[in-house]
Structure 1
Amino acid sequence: MDTAEEADICRVCRSEGTQDKPLYHPCVCTGSIKFIHQECLVQWLKHSRKEYCELCKHRFAFTPIYSPDMPSRLPVQDIFAGLVTSIGTAIRYWFHYTLVAFAWLGVVPLTACRIYKCLFTGSVSSLLTLPLDMLSTENLLADCLQGCFVVTCTLCAFISLVWLREQIVHGGAPLWLEQNQQQPANAAGPPNEAPGQGNGGAENQPMPAPAEPPAENAAAAEAPDLPADPAEEMELDNEDEDDGGAEDVADANNGAQDDMNWNALEWDRAAEELTWERMLGLDGSLVFLEHVFWVVSLNTLFILVFAFCPYHIGHFSVVGLGFEEYVRASHFEGLITTIVGYVLLAITLIVCHGLAALVRFQRSRRLLGVCYIVVKVSLLVVVEIGVFPLICGWWLDICSLEMFDASLKDRELSFESAPGTTMFLHWLVGMVYVFYFASFILLLREVLRPGVLWFLRNLNDPDFNPVQEMIHLPIYRHLRRFILSVVVFGSIVLLMLWLPIRIIKHIFPSFLPYNVMLYSDAPVSELSLELLLLQVVLPALLEQGHTRQWLKGLVRAWTVTAGYLLDLHSYLLGDQEDNENNANQQANNNNQQARNNAIPVVGEGLHAAHQAILQQGGPVGFQPYHRPMKFPLRIVLLILFMCVTLLLASLVCLTLPVFTGRWLMSFWTGSAKIHELYTAACGLYVCWLSIRAITVLLAWMPQGRRVILLKIQEWTLMIMKTLIVAVLLAGVIPLLLGLLFELVIVAPLRVPLDQTPLFYPWQDWALGVLHAKIIAAITLMGPQWWLKTVIEQVYANGIRNIDLHFIIRKLAAPVIAVLLLSLCIPYVIAVGIVPLLGVTMEMQNLVQRRIYPFLLMVVFLMGILSFQIRQFKRLYEHIKNDKYLVGQRLVNYERKAGKASASTHSSSVQE
């Protein structure tokens, strides 16, 4: 044995090869890691759960070793036995999954719906007939759908309760709930937030008036070592007392904490063992039947506790107070009655909590307090997410009635005809308004000096937790914030919608109302309108990142202008040099700094107090600024200037895009009335292109005329290429795709054989755009094939690096060829070949109308047949391996055509 053979060792166990355990070189790697034992590789593959080498990325290959007595072809009886076994296994799995689907999609929702109806029927007979109602076959589908909604609500309620418990455990409960019960003064205090002021709790820390700017508290900077808030001073005074009494109340607190954290390790271990497959029954076991029983029981319990009891409490109260007619007139009797029940339940919990505190029932007091927190947070969530956007949506609608030539009577009639849909649409509009308002506030925070918007919550703050605020802050604070938000949002709607509409009607009487009704002379339908807007215009506008940058630049320019006009530049944007000077002055003379009207670097005001409560740390910092003379007057002038600017901006946004769109659309449609979504979208697009062109030209100006001409030439060429690609990909392909869909699906279903189908190219193109986007999305999410590769390459190149030759040759030409063949071949067969066979006119008409769906069915059947053939080949290999496979042998890597590339990889691995 020479030295070369002695050097061949396994890369894993570092031992040489033997006759029983030979060495293999299964991948591109060379040198000391070239060889490996098959047993070592198999063991490593089991641990790493990979099928390729981690260094060279080459996939390992194994060749099967069959028994010597294996025939060249499997006997028919072996194939039949394997087929029967596979069919039996498939039937067993089919029965099991059918049982799973029947349990989760049938029994659970149907039981929830029938129990829900039984509880809310209000009669004893419904309870007696509940077992028979469970087996009833009436309205199965409707009850299952309604039951799915009920189950979803109960599961969401359960998850919310668990999450709220985690918030209380990790974020801390209110101090009025955790107060020392051995102190009579604290124990005698009432339990709710308002009496909790005597407890010095976090809910009742004195807050500075929101109207006071942070600069009013400049005296706090003179003594930075002292607490800036009286509540903080109170907490510091009581800190030693709390620490001294900690051992005395340890048992009581630990008992309460045990209730909140019972068996945490056991629950974690159970959660690790329980998987989704095991819970739902997808692992083949029948353990899921127990889970079905518990889900049904949980649904029943939650319906009884969270729906039945509050509803009947509210119902009896509404009937007793004589408000039944008013509640019934709202068309939402059940929802309003349930909310009233929750409000009364919260009041009852407050009273019971106070009584338990008086008689010193520790566990009862804590349980009632936690229940009150749950009800309180639930009601606040309903108000914040449901009521507030609904108010904003209705206020937007009321203020914009004149813009659409509508009246309150029209809105009342629409509400009477469809109350649920009307309320949902108004809630959706309100949510969109609130969302964009919050987005604009976030943009303002990026421009303005930190501390200017001290009275608004910072949604980007990672420590901001609205649920903790709902838990800790008292009800009157939330009520005050809600009223302030309604006033602010409502005033902005008046300023930016109602007042501009009045001005437009006074200056341009014929401009309003907007045309939002489709008339018979409109050249398009509502479907194509919505598809064009959603699939073409809005993505083109929203996918551009320039819009936000432009808006941010406008806000910054306005802020700089207003700052210099009103001498508020330091207040609005800050001044780094002034900050450094102020820091030096503070080190030298704090009194002189106070006379210079510099604000403290520690935060004051509502926002800082909120963060102090939630973070349990120091208050939020502010960037210092200079306070000019007559500061309140300048702030008032700043607000007036802001209102005038918003009014002018709203006037421009309401008139310019629509006017531009109407003027451009008039060249196409003449005097016909066009839906304003068309005109507004067209105008917005033209305005966006104009602004984009102006900004690009301004950016090119410093580079000289020659560079500008070269840039214009490049952009002209790029625009021409983009137009050609747009015509092919956004024009021809969607039109052919929509026409094919019309011939294959729509026309055979909607048009009888004795009528002639009519085709509308505009609608076919609009549907084709939608289908093309769906097909592209499915292709990008699917496996790798030539169309996905081409689309990904086109996306990667982008518009600036657009490759016209590649797009036409690899994407447009093949797709258009396939679509044209799909359209032309059936037409040639039906019109050119079938009449030559001498069939009747009725048969020719039948063939012409049904050949497209017939060929689609043929292609579908061929696909199924191809799939079944592949499955049979897999079954054949499976039967052969089960009966005659005795082992596997590792395959050595052989350098063939790709020797050069393989050597390159191996050399890199050696290095």
Structure 2
Amino acid sequence: MDTAEEDICRVCRSEGTPEKPLYHPCVCTGSIKFIHQECLVQWLKHSRKEYCELCKHRFAFTPIYSPDMPSRLPIQDIFAGLVTSIGTAIRYWFHYTLVAFAWLGVVPLTACRIYKCLFTGSVSSLLTLPLDMLSTENLLADCLQGCFVVTCTLCAFISLVWLREQIVHGGAPIWLEHAAPPFNAAGHHQNEAPVGGNGAENAAADQPAHPAGENAVLGENPDAQDGQAEEEEEDNEEEDDAGVEDAADANNGAQDDMNWNALEWDRAAEELTWERMLGLDGSLVFLEHVFWVVSLNTLFILVFAFCPYHIGHFSLVGLGFEEHVQASHFEGLITTIVGYILLAITLIICHALATLVKFHRSRRLLGVCYIVVKVSLLVVVEIGVFPLICGWWLDICSLEMFDATLKDRELSFQSAPGTTMFLHWLVGMVYVFYFASFILLLREVLRPGVLWFLRNLNDPDFNPVQEMIHLPIYRHLRRFILSVIVFGSIVLLMLWLPIRIIKSLLPNFLPYNVMLYSDAPVSELSLELLLLQVVLPALLEQGHTRQWLKGLVRAWTVTAGYLLDLHSYLLGDQEENENSANQQANNNQPARNNNAVPAGEGLHAAHQAILQQGGPVGFQPYRRPFNFPLRIFLLIVFMCITLLIASLICLTLPAFLFSVFAGRWLMSFWTGTAKIHELYTAACGLYVCWLTIRAVTVLVAWMPQGRRVIFQKVKEWSLMIMKTLIVAVLLAGVVPLLLGLLFELVIVAPLRVPLDQTPLFYPWQDWALGVLHAKIIAAITLMGPQWWLKTVIEQVYANGIRNIDLHYIIRKLAAPVISVLLLSLCVPYVIASGVVPLLGVTAEMQNLVHRRIYPFLLMVVVLMGILSFQVRQFKRLYEHIKNDKYLVGQRLVNYERKSGKQGPSTPPPQSSQE
């Protein structure tokens, strides 16, 4: 058979014809070598790619122009195309300006002005509102404040929609829909099953399986089962008090919620895109959306801010607490929260009255409103109040450690109340988060069922919002009080009591120097940079620290288990764990993602679940020793003593004492005898301690392999460390220093230092700013298009430290970057100091040139870049005009293997439209 007859298209599997010849446009061979141009163009439109998916070769087309095309375009064609492009650009500029003015000007400005008008509290402000909208006073400040108001209203709207979805899919509380029809009862039961699993009282009742496990739980803690039974009885009484009503009338609200056409909503969601909603598609439909956003802002400000605030304000004035609230510096927030509390109480009373008179629709509406207010208040308490209490309690218990008093904290609060409250809230948030992370680590070590009183955050059925919806308010208050007691007791045990012991035993060790000012000659900016860029990543991003902590917890558990004969209770029976793979799987299952709190649950899930009663997941039976309650009490005492000793060790003896002393000794080489913030000394000492411990553990792990292997590995690691130090000196030392000096000469010195004064340069500050600028440039480079610097940086990241290529880094990265920076620093200096004096200019002119040559050359480089960009744009415009007027088609280009170049195909040229 002839070779030409065997060549077929890879897409349509047809042979080539004079009208439709075959091409081989890529590296692929065999049966997929040839393809028709029409088939390829159709496939490229379908796949939206410009290269072969197999060999990754980019397809090339050569344009086919009309025979009457001149060699150069006429001036009138270029001018007409230029005018058309300018007109299109002006039209888009006007449209996008209108979009920016509407979303960044009209929407926030109207929100701010309406907010101020409503909270002014005068009739004249309402009458002058149209004129205030057009006022030009404080435009920027009002726009920024309006952006915050718009963000709050949009978040409130999204939260309401999401809460509605939680109620629809998770089921409403039983007291709200207690008379559902029989055909819907099963569906509601299925929807509420996970919620019941979350509740403390339903954990054992909803899961009757595993009878042996349930019996073990009864033996483990009978008081917990009695408490669960009492809670179930209380909830049943709450359901009975709601009464029984007509099923059809009671379910009208639920049917109304479900009477919507899902197809219509899906079609609307498909048509409405972000570009169309914001007006970025070129249409004016966004003006309607602007009107609706302004209306939504006004409605939410009126309903969720104006009404609760004035309800709380009138109540506080009537009760005589107005002066106390004003003295708190947070009058608006406290008044609004009080208004919400009173509104919730009012909704409860109205719901009870509507239930008595059997106003079913009103009863359901009032119940839903109460759920919204209840969930909002609980979120504020859990996310705002609880971390704030923990932060203040931590500060109060650690006053002696920093030689501070309550009077100092009161003065700082009076001077900056907002900043003080935010810092304490942030400290409390971090404390709660790490406490929850430690609980997750305990679950990896202990037997499933030991921490039965703590909710498992990795439980897929755990949903804190559903618990807020379904559980009564007294349950949340009781849990909040217990959480405060537990967290506060741990702070007392691990912070206040160790500080008192240290003050008694080591009176000269405390306090730590944490003054906000420093008399050191070195700026603390470089120290902060060292802390943020070197110390913290090394300490926090290492998995070894967590493994060491886990090993310590396991060793303590084993020791306590054997001392108190609670090994079976704490860790389970070793024989059963070795022989039963199923129990081992159950023990490892909750610890799959225990490195951090799941992102979707947030910090609320971290401490909302604390002290929530529920049946253990993956329960393992254990052996009850004699005097079991006494042994549990001794275990708690032993745990408290261990936490106290661990806190003393972390604060004083080998760890923190050595780290502080070592840090102070190391910082003395840098700053001399000046006092430095103990945060820097402790961080530097901890980093050195961590490096030492890490080196010792690596050497201990190498010991069983023999002396020769140890020497070989020490040689390899020493070589790698030497290469890393050289790269660090070049990339983290020389490059940031040169970059910081260039920034100082180009930007800082011309703006800050007058011509008649001499600028002073501080190498440490320039290096610190250079490190920051280098990181920003590296991040922008990695996010930008592909070019040589991005390729080199990606290759260096891919190799890592263990496979570091010193020659490649110096030749491809360090040498070019340092050369460019040195040229940028030296060439202007040579011109100003060597060339300009030869021209015979005055001393003042020499000084002016010397001081302004760096920003002048920067402007020249920027102008050259703009000119080159405009030239490229004009060339693209020229090609666009030529293609629009004279292009008749395109021809696919074959791939030539021998020459490595692409040339036209051997078949006779055929014009084809793309």
Q: Same fold (TM over 0.5)?
A: yes
Determine which of 428, 432, 435 is the counterpart of 1:434.
432
Give me the whole-angstrom Cα distance separating, in 2, the residues matched to 1:582 and 1:693: 38
| Alpha-carbon contact 1:609-1:619 (below 8 Å) kept | no
Deviation at 1:313, TM superposition (A): 0.6
**Deviation at 1:254?**
5.8
Question: Which whole-Å deviations, capped at 9, do the CAs of 1:230-249 have from their partners, x for residues lacking one?
Answer: 599999x99xx9xxx99x83
Contact persistence 1:451–1:622 (CA under 8 A): yes
* Structure 1 residues 284 and 298, CA gap change in structure 2 (3 angstroms): same
1:297, CA displacement in angstroms?
0.4
- Taking only aligned residues, the RMSD between alpha carbons, in angstroms, comes to 3.1
Shift in Å, 1:671: 3.0
- Given the alignment, which residue of 270, 285, 289 partners 2:268? 270
1:322: which partner in 2? Answer: 320
Counterpart residue identity of residue 629, structure 2 = P
1:783 aligns with 785
Q: What is the correspondence of 1:171-210 to structure 2 with a 5 Å cutoff?
A: 171-180=170-179, 205=201
1:531 to 506, 529, 532: 529
Letter of the 1:137 partner, please give it: T
Contact 2:449/2:616 (8 A) holds in 1: no
1: CA distance, partners of 2:259 / 2:455: 32
Contact 2:441 2:550 in 1 (8 A): yes
State the SS of the aligned residue for 2:176. helix
Following superposition, the deviation at residue 853 of structure 1 comes to 1.1
Deviations 1:691-735 (A, max 9, x none): 101111110111122222222222222222222222112111111
What aligned pairs does 1:231-630 form with structure 2 within 5 A after superposition?
A: 249=247, 252-253=250-251, 255-260=253-258, 262-517=260-515, 521-578=519-576, 620-630=617-627
Tell me how far 1:669 sits from its aligned partner.
4.0
CA distance in 2, matches of 1:230, 1:507: 50
Cα distance in 1 for partners of 2:333, 2:545 equals 41
Following superposition, the deviation at residue 203 of structure 1 comes to: 7.2
Q: What's the secondary structure of 1:740's corresponding residue? A: helix
Per-residue CA deviations over 1:789-829 (Å, capped at 9, x if unaligned) read 22222222222222222222222222111111111111111
Which residue in the other structure is 1:807 paired with? 809
One-letter amino acid of the structure 2 residue matched with residue 445 of structure 1: R
Query: Deviations 1:654-676 (Å, cap 9, x if unpaired)?
Result: 23221221233334444321221
Partner amino acid for 2:175? W
- Structure 2 Cα separation of the partners of residues 310 and 255 of structure 1: 26
Looking at structure 1, the residues matched to 613 and 19 of structure 2 have their Cα atoms a distance apart, in angstroms, of: 72
Structure 1 residue 312: deviation in Å?
Answer: 0.7
Q: CA deviation at 1:8?
A: 2.8
Once the two structures are TM-superposed, the CA of residue 261 in structure 1 deviates from its matched residue by 5.4
Give per-residue Cα distances to partners, 1:114-156, cap 9 Å, x unaligned. 0000111101111111100000001000000000000000000
Match of 1:736 in 2: 738
Query: 1:755: how far off?
Result: 0.7
By how many angstroms is 1:441 displaced?
Answer: 1.3
Question: What residue is the counterpart of 2:595 in the other structure?
Answer: none
1:640 aligned to 2:642?
no
- TM-score (ref. length: structure 2): 0.87
Secondary structure of the 1:887 match is: strand
| Partner of residue 196, structure 1 | none
How far apart are residue 464 of structure 1 and its match? 1.5
CA distance in 1: counterparts of 2:750 and 2:770, whole angstroms: 18
Q: 2:192 matched to which residue of 1?
A: none
Query: Could you say if the C-alpha distance between residues 798 and 53 of structure 1 is closer, same or farther in structure 2, counting changes exceeding 3 Å?
Result: closer
Segment of structure 1 superposing worse, 363-372 or 636-645: 636-645
User: Matched residue of 1:178: which SS?
Assistant: coil
Task: Report deviation, 1:855.
Answer: 1.1
Provide the secondary structure at the position in 2 that maps to 1:175: coil
Alignment CA distance shift 1:50-1:254 (3 Å): farther
Q: Structure 1's 871 and 202: CA in aligned 2 closer, same or farther, altered over 3 A?
A: closer
Q: Is the 8 A contact 1:24 1:38 kept in 2?
A: yes
Pick aligned residue for 1:831 from 825, 830, 833: 833
CA contact (8 A) 1:574 1:623 kept: yes
The Cα shift of 1:283 comes to 0.1
CA deviation string 1:187-230 (max 9, x = no partner): xxxxxxxxxxxxx9997948899xxxx999538699xxxx9975
- Look up the equivalent residue of 2:575 and give its one-letter code: E
Given that residues 9 and 16 in structure 2 are in contact (C-alpha distance below 8 angstroms), is that contact kept between their aligned partners in structure 1? Answer: yes
Aligned length: 843
Cα distance change on mapping 1:170 and 1:728 into 2, 3 Å: same
Q: Structure 2: give runs of 5+ residues left out of the alignment.
A: 183-195, 206-211, 583-607, 902-914
Cα gap change, 1:547/1:273 in structure 2, threshold over 3 Å: closer, same or farther?
Answer: same
SS of residue matched to 1:409: helix
For the residue of structure 1 that corresponds to 2:419, the secondary structure is: helix
Superimposed CA distance per residue, residues 23-79 of structure 1 (whole angstroms, 9 cap, x where no aligned partner): 222222333333222222222222222222223322222111111111111111111
Report the Cα distance in structure 1 between the residues aligned to 2:338 and 2:440, rounded to whole angstroms.
Answer: 36
Pairwise CA distance, 1:652 = 2.5
Cα–Cα, structure 1 residues 499 and 50, in superposed 2: closer, same or farther, change >3 Å? same
1:841-881 Cα offsets, whole Å, 9 max, x none, are 11111111111111111111111111111111100000001
Change (3 A) 1:207 1:552: closer
Identify the residue that residue 603 of structure 2 maps to in structure 1.
none
Equivalent residue, structure 2, for 1:706: 708
State the Cα distance separating 1:470 from its structure 2 match.
Answer: 0.7
Ranges in structure 1 where 5+ consecutive residues have no aligned partner:
184-199, 585-605, 613-617, 900-911
Q: Judging changes above 3 Å, is the alpha-carbon distance between structure 1 residues 607 and 220 closer, same or farther for their aligned structure 2 residues?
A: farther
Amino acid at match of 1:429: V
| Match of residue 95 from structure 2 | 96
Q: d(CA) in 2 for partners of 1:525 and 1:607?
A: 45
Residue in 2 aligned with 1:193? none
Deviations 1:509-554 (A, max 9, x none): 2222111226564132232232221122212222222111111112
Corresponding residue number in structure 2 for 1:748: 750
- Do the aligned residues in 1 keep the contact of 2:52 with 2:58 (CA within 8 Å)? yes
**How do 1:872-883 residues align onto structure 2 when only pairs under 5 Å count?**
872-883=874-885
**Corresponding residue number in structure 2 for 1:74:** 73
SS across alignment from 1:72: coil
One-letter amino acid matched to 1:144: C
SS at match of 1:334: helix
From 857, 864, 867, the equivalent of 1:865 is 867
Query: CA 1:382–1:358 in structure 2 vs 1: closer, same or farther (change >3 Å)?
Result: same
Q: CA deviation at 1:294?
A: 0.3
Q: Which moved more, 1:522-531 or 1:338-347?
A: 522-531
